[in-house]
Structure 1
Amino acid sequence: MDRSAVYFLLYVLIAKTIVAQAATPADSVYATDKQTIAKGQQLFGQNCSACHNFLQKGIGPNLSRVTADVSYAWLRKFIRNAPDVIGQGDARATRLVAEYNQIMPAFPTLNDADVRALMAYIHHNKKLTTDKNESFGTAIADPVPAKIAKGGLRLTLEEVVTAPASATQTPAARINKMLVLPGQTERTFVVDLRGALYEMAGVTLQPYFRLPDHRPNFIHAPGLATGFGSFAFHPAFYQNGLLYTTHTEKARTAPANFAYADSIKVTLQWVLTEWKTTAPTATTFVGTGRELLRIDMVSAIHGVQEITFNPLAKPGTPDYGLLYVGVGDGGCTENGHYELCQDSTRLWGKVLRIDPRGTNSRNGQYGIPVSNPLAGRAGGEIFCRGFRNPNRICWAPNGTMLVSDIGQANMEEINAVVAGANYGWPDREGTFVMNYRGAMDKSYPLPGNDAAYRYAYPAIQYDHDEGKAVSGGFVYTGNIALLTGKYLFGDIVNGRVFYVEGNQLKPGQQAIIQEFDLDIAGRPVTFQALCGSKKTDLRFGIGPGQGLYLFTKTDGKIYRATACALVR
């Protein structure tokens, strides 16, 4: 055979190989055996489920079509080291950063087999067609078309202190809650979700209590809601020395008081603990703790991020000494287990009210007040329900209880709560219908017979044109006159600071939201500029003298509001 014939045959062979490879469907690249997919499901729960699922976009994009939209090689590279792909200017990666305002971390601990299994599980959950939503009507493109306007008030901030760094990467300090312990001398405390409770003394934060020193099974990974979730001092702390905390531990660390069917995965557990200090006035905690309850969670998101006592309740009144506990849905809705939220016998997606000093609960470790709406029945702990992530609870001076609820893909809300009311999740998000069985990233109008469902609706709501996650605040009662009586809050992601007039906080009647201008030493600022990041992780706290404090997990800086003036 001459050389030209050899070249021709070689050309044909190469061409056929290329055509065969091009014709090979993407499905054949991904592993399909049950063992690999099961391993991928476990890895997904540990590393991905906090931000991603296969029903809708949330903190990160919906992954139901990702293996159809990108190549196997691209996805593998992105999972390995997303920051590197972004840094190389990849168009898709850059677009994702712009849309979600954050960067997926690298996963250097995943080996090749892990990545292969993870990708197999993602591909196993692909959806190449869009869920049908005809029965819900036409989706609403812009749920709240009116835009939040500036209110003509300029809030002056002063940087007070930077929290001790608890990591070398962003967020630098996961400071999440600040409150004042009243007494002869007011004491202010700040918690870092990575495990430390600090006392703020002047311009310093001094360690008061380290939860990992007392609970070796404590975990704060993978971040987001996990870790040292919340804390509350008993209103008689200086007499009884009682402190309450919530924190996360690994799945199956101990039998849960509140569990579900074996067919539903458990990613971690939230634990509510009562601690008794031997010296209430001491600057560091010395004492012991006892577990009150333990609850399983489907994923790492939407945990037990808030516990609190009603500060308006006085000794001898029915609410005195009762602990309110905000329990998120644990990601059960986006993982297909939405039935847990609306079940009045289950604790997920509820605000609980318990007597931590009582014993008539099922496990005998706390009490269920007889005044609770469901007292004497299964779920007697429940005070109200229908929440996705009830992450802050406070009371207005007139006694109105306010619960901020971080939304899914479209709406953020704050509810003026009534005992026994149902706030709709996952059937409702704000004043809109959500298809929790299908495309959850769309909003639909309320049905004509909506009153028959007896859902309660927010006192404040805004859509995702304005922000991505509500940062609950409080009604101001400090000494800055122009702030008095206003409910102050903002958005976790973009760091905008909002207010509504306190007299507009009424159940089901949406108040008008207005935005502050911000400055430091006469210089206009935004929290995004102060942090140097699109995601600020903004939180609100009450400090000495009922002062307004704002702080950002991104850089760990704490600011105090020193003045408020009319914008001229």
Structure 2
Amino acid sequence: MSRRSTSGAVVAILLTALLTPGANAQADEPVADPIPTPTASGLGLEIEEVATLPQSTAVPPPTDVRLKQWNRINYFGEVPDRSGRTYVPDLNGRMYLLDHGTQHVYLDVGAAVGADFHTYRGLGSGFGFVAFDPKFARNGRFYTVHTEAGNALTTKKPDLPSAPDAQVHGVITEWTATDPKANTFAGTRREMLRIGFGTFIHGLQEIGFNPNSKWWDDDYGLLYIAAGDGGVGLRTTVPQDLGVPQGKILRIDPRGKNGVNGHYGIPAKNPFVGKPGALGEIYAYGLRDPYRFSWDAGGRHRMFLGHIGEKVVESVYEVKPGANFGWSEREGRFNYVKNDPSCRIFPLPADDAKFGYSYPVAGFDHDRLPTSRPCSDSGNALIGGFVYRGHKIPELRGKYIYGEGVKGYVLYANEREMKSDSMAATHSLMLYDKSGQRVTLQQLVGKERVDLRFGQDSRGELYILAKANGKIWKVVGARKFADCRTGHDFVWGATKARDWQPVTPAKWQFPGREVVLAEAGVARPGPRRPFEYAVLSKGPSFGSVRIDAEVRLDTPVEVSNRDVIIVFGYKSDTEFYYAHLSSDNKIYPHNGIFAVNNADRVRLDDQWDEARSVGALPAVKDAAWHRVSVKHCAGTGEIAVYVDGSSAPLMTAVNKTFSSGRVGFGSFDNIGRIRNLRVLGEGE
């Protein structure tokens, strides 16, 4: 996934082709770009800070810089007792209650565990998660996950098969509060389940109860457990082995007794109960690092899992009983080859169907730089979130909100498009602060590493957390990018020579319904800028404006680097904006939004990824007519370019260099034409 993660959508046919991973690749050839870069949605989330949790550190101080954040807050949820209290676990040991703005240390798990509590090595080590019993208000029970090392490795024995040389133990504990209404825990605890892991990574992650189940359902009160592969799956068959718990989703009954240690039960309807050699606790398998899961409160009440990938693909899965997600034979929808020195992935084999793997319903790839070491950490981690079913933000309803956690990108896929036979397209979401200023999480936390996480309250409203500065933001609204009112001055029917002022009139033709650039322009003295264009002289100069037209490139498709441009904010021959619509998106001058301000043109659009030298999807690749819309909001500086009727912008930018000006059409050194031009805006 690129650093600037908003690329535009072009045509549905193109996206459909791109969303068929490896469709044209040979089975023995690696897949270079498995999943399209998330496209710009043109939608932004309005976020408002609601809390800052205390600073904390691992003990002893970690050497891994990734663990050196303000704190390691990991989740945000609401206590299921109708009190309105919310809770936040910190991997460094403490659980906080937020009681209508007041913070309490409810429980110090690290202190309760003692010297064996392990938190200083491994990104998921420490107090990882908490899940409240659905009847907590009456029974006071809740469950936690933490890691242990030290003496625990020799004095305590895992309950389920584990690596003989385990580096850490993952422990699930049941706590019973004497007074469920209290803001500080007092009560009893009992260890329920202990699992050993071969390395310090990919241990026990989220635990939780299905919030959609009712007391009469078979699923009611059963605890789901996301168990990683312990970091050994890339070189072993552990995730595929039904005889071990690592790399699995487990489901247990906290109040049952027929588990191996008598401290929990195995639900009779678990899919592998009674299968020889298989653990009855397993609900689904074939996983590397199953980090976050949630249930959709609407639709078909599906369970979705955010899964952190190995070297190439990050995936969202739909979790069904008995599902095999393929790791480490598969990574996402691709063939994973163990010990491949370049850590690549390959197309699925022709006989893949016989294995019955369950493949992702959404996700993204790493978009590694050509200069990156093949098997180095790519700095990507998919953080699962929630399908929004709240009532305050209708624009989000039915969208599965998730993210890339390291850099803090917020994404979504439409739940209805998340199907077992194809991946839903992923779209990027912008962020706005309380004042309406567009921001990024990296800006808000002041660091490149954000460590983004998500939370949800009982009403289905969303929250965003960052370990980098320990803050929690509530998503309080949504706004459409470049959604300003453009005024009522209207220009159309500009097809006569008197309506235009070309740079070189002899190069232009006005046959009636079209305006034609019939001869390619040539470079002119002065700043680097489009060679040939015509400025619309009919009508006024515009402030905020919307430009709608159809454009066509007449340069043969065999020619590379074909382009036309839409000019706006025009002040003079060396002062204007332009949207560059090109068949190429691989070099700086092509397929983007630019400003010429008495100097060489400067690229403005969010989509340009300088490190990878790639921008938004090519806007015009053929000789057909294409609808183009350009929206410029003078007050905010927001600029959006749309192609072929898409509701999502192909390109976006924010710049306030020019607050008004005229519009125009042209090219650098190609020929083309424009028709059905309509300009609506605030005339000056």
For the criterion TM > 0.5, the same-fold answer is yes
What letter matches 1:157 in structure 2? I
Residue 380 of structure 1 is matched in structure 2 by: 280
**Paired-residue identity, %:** 40
The structure where helix makes up a greater share of residues is 1
Q: Which has the higher strand share?
A: 2
Find the aligned partners of 2:449 and 2:397 in 1 and give their Cα distance. 29
The alpha-carbon deviation at position 470 of structure 1 amounts to 0.4
Q: Within the alignment, does 1:409 sit opposite 2:311 as a pair?
A: yes
- Aligned partner of 2:459 in structure 1 is 545
Q: Please report how far the alpha carbon of residue 485 of structure 1 lies from its aligned counterpart in structure 2 after TM superposition.
A: 1.8
Q: How does 1:210-249 map to 2 (within 5 A)?
A: 210-216=108-114, 217-249=116-148
Aligned-pair distance for 1:182? Answer: 2.5
Q: Which amino acid is 1:382 matched to? A: I
Q: Which residue of 2 aligns with 1:192?
A: 90
Structure 1 counterpart SS, 2:74: strand
- The residue type equivalent to 2:146 in the other structure is H
Q: Residue 68 of structure 1 aligns with which residue? A: none
Q: 1:159 aligns with which of 35, 49, 70?
A: 49
Aligned residue number for residue 450 of structure 2:
536
Matched, 1:348 2:246: yes
Structure 1 counterpart of 2:281, one-letter code = E
Q: Deviations over 1:33-56 (max 9, x none)?
A: xxxxxxxxxxxxxxxxxxxxxxxx
Pick aligned residue for 2:355 from 438, 453, 462? 453
Cα distance 1:261–1:312, how it changes in 2: closer, same or farther (>3 A)? closer
1:82-104, CA deviations, whole angstroms, 9 ceiling, x for partnerless residues? xxxxxxxxxxxxxxxx9xxxxxx
* Corresponding position: 1:565 with 2:479: yes
Answering whether residue 202 of structure 2 is matched by residue 302 of structure 1, we say: yes
- Whether the 8 Å contact between 2:134 and 2:221 is mirrored in structure 1 is yes
Note the alpha carbon deviations across 1:139-169, whole angstroms, 9 max, x for none: 122212x221111111111112211000398
Amino acid at match of 1:234: D
Deviations 1:476-496 (A, max 9, x none): 122211112211111011111
User: Does residue 419 of structure 2 align to residue 519 of structure 1?
Assistant: no
Give the Å deviation of 1:454: 1.0
Separation in 2, partners of 1:147, 1:529: 22
For 1:257, the aligned partner's letter is D
1:522 counterpart letter in structure 2: G
Partner SS, residue 311 of structure 1: coil
Q: 1:345 and 1:435 mapped to 2: Cα distance?
A: 23
Alignment-derived partner of residue 471 in structure 1:
383
What's the TM-score, normalizing by structure 2?
0.61
Amino acid at match of 1:443: I
Are the aligned partners of 1:161 and 1:204 in contact in 2 as well (CA < 8 Å)? no
Q: Give the SS at the match of 1:420.
A: coil
- Report the residue type matching 1:138 in the other structure: E
420, 426, 434: which one pairs with 1:507?
420
Q: CA deviation at 1:497?
A: 0.5
| Residue deviations 1:360-391 (CA, integer Å, cap 9, x gap) | 11211110011100113431000000111111
Q: Does 1:485 align with 2:398?
A: yes
Give the deviation of 1:357 after TM superposition: 0.3
Match of 2:227 in 1: 327
Q: 1:538 to 1:388 in 2, by over 3 A?
A: same
Query: What is the letter of the counterpart of residue 469 of structure 1?
Result: A
In the alignment, is the contact (CA less than 8 A) between 2:237 and 2:328 conserved in 1? no
Question: How far, CA to CA, are the matches of 1:530 and 1:252 in structure 2?
Answer: 44
Distance 1:556 1:253, change over 3 A: farther
**Structure 1 stretches of 5 or more lacking a match?**
1-97, 99-134
Aligned equivalents of 2:477 and 2:405: distance in 1?
22
Could you tell me how far apart the structure 1 residues matched to 2:415 and 2:237 are? Answer: 35
TM-score normalised over the length of structure 1: 0.73
CA distance in 1, matches of 2:225, 2:432: 35
Q: CA deviation at 1:419?
A: 0.7
Shift of residue 440, structure 1, vs aligned partner: 6.6
Shift in Å, 1:261: 5.6
Corresponding residue for 1:25? none
Q: Which runs of 5+ in 2 are unaligned?
A: 4-25, 62-66, 369-378, 484-684
Residues 502, 261 of structure 1: alpha-carbon distance in 2 compared, 3 angstrom cutoff: closer
The aligned length equals 430
Q: Which has the larger radius of gyration?
A: 2
Identify the match of residue 462 of structure 1 among 345, 353, 364. Answer: 364
* Deviating 4+ runs (over 6 angstroms): none
- Whichever residue aligns with residue 173 of structure 1, its letter is N
Give deviations 1:86-128, integer Å, cap 9, x for gaps: xxxxxxxxxxxx9xxxxxxxxxxxxxxxxxxxxxxxxxxxxxx
* 1:266–1:440 CA distance, 2 compared to 1 (3 A): farther
| Distance change >3 Å, CA 309–CA 515, structure 1 → 2 | same
Looking at structure 2, the residues matched to 210 and 268 of structure 1 have their Cα atoms a distance apart, in angstroms, of 20
